[in-house]
Chains A and B, each alone.
Chain A
């Protein structure tokens, strides 16, 4: 009886200590032909673990000319979704304050617009195409990937107390500093009709901006 208890006790103590030695031996014995790749553990590929960076968010700042109402600073935000390596969609919001027309300045007191009517806000949805992908070199040590793109879309502009349907088209250049940070310069024409003096007039409003964007 005593020796039996002793055996149980010993086997309890020794088994955990010997188990690591015993297991590989028995595995080898079972399948001696198996090619072992010691550096690779059994892992499955889970695609959800791959970080996808198809969205881009950024801010921009520049100048915008509103026909008859001067050229003024403009700023805004944009959000893009890259559908393929060539195609992307973009939503952009911009804001600018316009200045007095020549008529208002010359006449002295006559004001065409007052207060908030002088502010211009636009919101548009556009489709872009990366036309010329390439690399830009800075000195002999640095190379950055870049893209020249064409972009066009539609949206709305609030100006002079009116909401106007607005087409926009233009082009831009994007310089990727690394995988997730890019510098952008954009040139855009915003086209809308304004009924300010009773008859409808098509306005071309040019905008030049520079900005920074993040991919996420």
Chain B
């Protein structure tokens, strides 16, 4: 009996421990999502710093902090930082102003920012592009990974909308960027994939079909601002059809992407 009670006690203790750690983990998760984990303080070095009511130029300035005041950085939205003054006022400061503050070490506050230099060599890229697929409309999403500044791998998924049918295409390609440091950076692509076409059920009675394809292409990536890219490209596809001769398709697309 005594052993049983002791066993039960132990079980309860273990469960309580588990619950505690779970709750701690949950608190940590929400803390990580919605709040800064450590308070960061900086000292105003300019004659003054302006606090806006919202994260944007258009929101009015409602408070200024003078040189020498310490402010706490709470969070960031795009290029704006929410700060709290020593007296507890909270407002949004532009990145350009926050960069003219001093850290506790007395050094200027450096804020890592996506620039054209990062554009020249970024690891990840994701975007959406659409256009014309030999007379049909096409819409694609893609994700890319850069191996080196000059080589990247890309996976894309496309939806093709033709007059009496629609289709999906999955495609992998190796892209070569000969001039990654240019603002208007050209690229060449070489790849392979599959295409699946399904006729509209209301009009045509024909079965679905999946074929292999290969492509070559060229395009241009234009660095716009922050993490934003405009992209235009041409690709020439050869579809290896099981029923017929090979089909050749010209595709023109334009769209936008972000990089990380």
Contacts and interface: CB of A to CB of B under 8 A. Distances in A.
A95 B127 CA distance: 24
B36 A49 contact: yes
Contacts of A82: 77-78
B144 interface: no
Interface stretch (A6-14, A102-110, A154-162): A154-162
Contacts, number: 135
B166 A135 contact: no
Contact of A156 (B38, B161, B163, B203): B161
Contacts of A127: 256
Interface residues of B, number: 54
Interface stretch (A63-71, A183-191, A192-200, A201-209): A192-200
Interface residues of A, number: 50
Given A133-B59, A156-B159, A89 B202 contact: no
A133 B128 CA distance: 27
Interface in B86-107: 103-105
26 contacts: A42-B105, A43-B104, A44-B104, A45-B42, A46-B38, A46-B40, A49-B36, A49-B37, A49-B40, A50-B73, A52-B77, A54-B76, A83-B258, A84-B79, A84-B228, A85-B55, A85-B56, A85-B80, A127-B256, A134-B58, A135-B53, A155-B139, A162-B200, A195-B163, A195-B202, A195-B203
Given A42-B105, A85-B77, 19 more contacts: A44-B105, A45-B42, A46-B38, A50-B76, A51-B35, A51-B75, A52-B77, A83-B258, A89-B256, A130-B56, A133-B56, A135-B54, A135-B59, A154-B139, A156-B159, A162-B202, A163-B166, A179-B82, A216-B34
Interface of A: 40-47, 49-54, 81-87, 89, 117, 125, 127, 130, 132-135, 143, 145, 154-156, 160-165, 176, 179-180, 195-196, 198, 200, 215-216
